[in-house]
Structure 1
Amino acid sequence: MYKLLVAEDVRTVREAIVRSIDWRALEVEVVGALSNGEEVLEQLDVLAPHILLTDISMPKVNGIELIIGVLQRYPDMKCIILSGLNEFEYARKAISLQVLDYVLKPVDPEQIQRVVGLAVAQLRKEEEERNGLAMAEQLVREQLPNLSGQMPLNSIGGNVKKKKLVDQALEYVLAHYMKRSLTLNDIASHVGLSEKYLNQVFKEVTGTTLNHAIIQIRMEASVKLLKDPTIKIYEICDQIGYTDQDHFRDSFKKHYGLTPTDYRNKFL
């Protein structure tokens, strides 16, 4: 469940928001409904919300000041603004503060449900990306050859430098393998080498090519995602950085001898 905190100084509006929406259906729990921004900032660490739904016009600390304070402490929090028509331009400017969206008063439960649903979708996607990164890190530890063990015994100082370059390349891959636009040139530029020399160093240290390592990371990540039947094949394809399902299916079948669908049906 994702936690939602409401900040609204008008009690009837505040109560209507809490009572008029089936929050559980959105996988949301309302952890608080407070009357001003000052109260929110005081209780923020205790309530630990993922989403903030706040009015703009509130006493003591208004919505804009509140959002600034919240994002300084929790930059990943999803903030949604409630505003009247006379505050519309003010609300639009708040988008520059990384506000996810705004809802005009009078409160429309369906509109609030829509934007909170959008926040939940973004939170879920970010969580999946973090999980994918964690899986890839585990993969590197478990599947790739031991970097130190692969280093030749001569020129120890030079090999330590090469190992460090390989580590930097792998860290970049782990952080970006989900992106469709990832290229060897991107990785080489990150570590300050040419593509050719980086490939040479990477194979010397690990015993495998950098391109093979990227594919291996993506394939192992896809296998773990396939174990969750609620994640669709096209979503897995997108999450591991493939441009289309056909390419993903062909790569997966070449790697494991089965299509992703066949693998899921066989092992789940």
Structure 2
Amino acid sequence: MIKLLIAEDVKIVRETLIHAINWHALGITLLGAVENGEEVLAWLEREEPDLLLTDIGMPKMSGLELIEALKVRNPDIRCIILSGLNEFDHARQAIKLQVLDYVLKPIDPSEIEKVLSNAVEVLRKEREERLALTLAEQTAKDQLPNLSEALLRGEWTGSLKKKKLVEQAIQYVKESYMRKELALSDVASSVGLSDKYVNLLFKEVTGMTINHWIIRLRMQEAARLLKDPAIKIYEICDWIGYADQDHFRESFKKQYGLTPSEYRNKFL
């Protein structure tokens, strides 16, 4: 079960969230619901949640300030923002903080259940990946006596090193994809490799080139932002690193089979 904590200063909203959501059906254990960020930080001294659902406009500490504090304390805690502040600047900062989703008030329990269901799926996949990595590391330790010859040839260490370099490249792209001038050479420089070699290495590990990976990431972020009707399409285009709206429209349609406007209309 995924452990979730709610931070919401409005009592009626807090009570609605507690009682209107079928937490068990979502695979979630609701730890509790508190009024502000300071109470969240105090709660963390006793027990850490996997997921935080937090309002933005709270006394003592805003939801965004709370998320920043959580990132320092435990970056594995994932966050969803709940807010009546229908402003793009808040969405922009939320994206920088890598929140899972951004839900506007007034709250709709069915919409929140969908968002939470997606969040649970993300967290479960992350757990599976961590478990797989742990098992792989344990297997490697168990097989160490039989790996001496491979280690001497550099096969084992070479494979791990390639994976680590690609992970570093991916992290750089995630932090930089909003830059319009982001290029393959920038990614290569971030890991200290040539353009050609890093692209070959990236494709070997992920199955796609760096440019294709950047486009896919940008389109995924665009699709997420398009669900919020308050954010203009040209703002999304600018935010994800596209200088030309026509280019953005073509890339999005190629990825999803719909133009940005058509995709947005599905959620209106």
TM-score by length of 2: 0.56
Write the letter of the residue equivalent to 1:88. E
- Give the alignment of 1:1-268 within 5 angstroms: 1-84=1-84, 86-93=85-92, 94-143=94-143, 146-148=146-148, 150=149, 163=152, 165-166=154-155, 168-172=157-161
Residue 91 of structure 1 and its aligned partner are, at CA, apart by 3.2
Q: Which residue of 2 aligns with 1:227?
A: none
Residue 175 of structure 1 and its aligned partner are, at CA, apart by 6.2
Residue 90 of structure 1 and its aligned partner are, at CA, apart by 3.7
**Alpha-carbon distance in 2 for matches of 1:117, 1:73:** 25
CA shift in 2, pair 1:138/1:107, >3 Å: same
Residue 38 of structure 1 and its aligned partner are, at CA, apart by 1.1
**Alpha-carbon distance in 1 for matches of 2:68, 2:157:** 34
**Looking at CA atoms only, which structure, 1 or 2, has the larger radius of gyration?**
1
CA shift in 2, pair 1:175/1:127, >3 Å: farther
**Alpha-carbon distance in 2 for matches of 1:177, 1:142:** 25
Write the letter of the residue equivalent to 2:147. L
Secondary structure at the aligned position of 1:80 is classed as strand
CA shift in 2, pair 1:45/1:116, >3 Å: farther
How big is each residue's C-alpha offset from its partner over 1:175-230, in whole Å with a ceiling of 9 and x where there is no partner? 6999xxxxxxxxxxx9x9xx9xxxxxxxxxxxxxxx9xxxxxxxxxxxxxxxxxxx
Residue 174 of structure 1 and its aligned partner are, at CA, apart by 7.2
Secondary structure at the aligned position of 2:76 is classed as coil
Q: Which residue of 1 aligns with 2:230?
A: none
Q: Give the gaps of 5 or more residues in structure 1.
A: 152-161, 179-189, 196-210, 212-268
TM-score by length of 1: 0.56
CA shift in 2, pair 1:114/1:91, >3 Å: farther
**Alpha-carbon distance in 2 for matches of 1:177, 1:55:** 35
* Bigger mean CA offset, 137-146 vs 106-115: 137-146
**Alpha-carbon distance in 1 for matches of 2:112, 2:55:** 12
CA shift in 2, pair 1:62/1:118, >3 Å: same
- Checking the alignment, whether the CA contact within 8 Å between 1:133 and 1:175 is kept in structure 2 is no
- Checking the alignment, whether the CA contact within 8 Å between 1:91 and 1:102 is kept in structure 2 is no
- Checking the alignment, whether the CA contact within 8 Å between 1:2 and 1:28 is kept in structure 2 is yes
Count of aligned residue pairs for this structure pair: 172
Secondary structure at the aligned position of 2:9 is classed as coil
**Alpha-carbon distance in 2 for matches of 1:109, 1:56:** 18
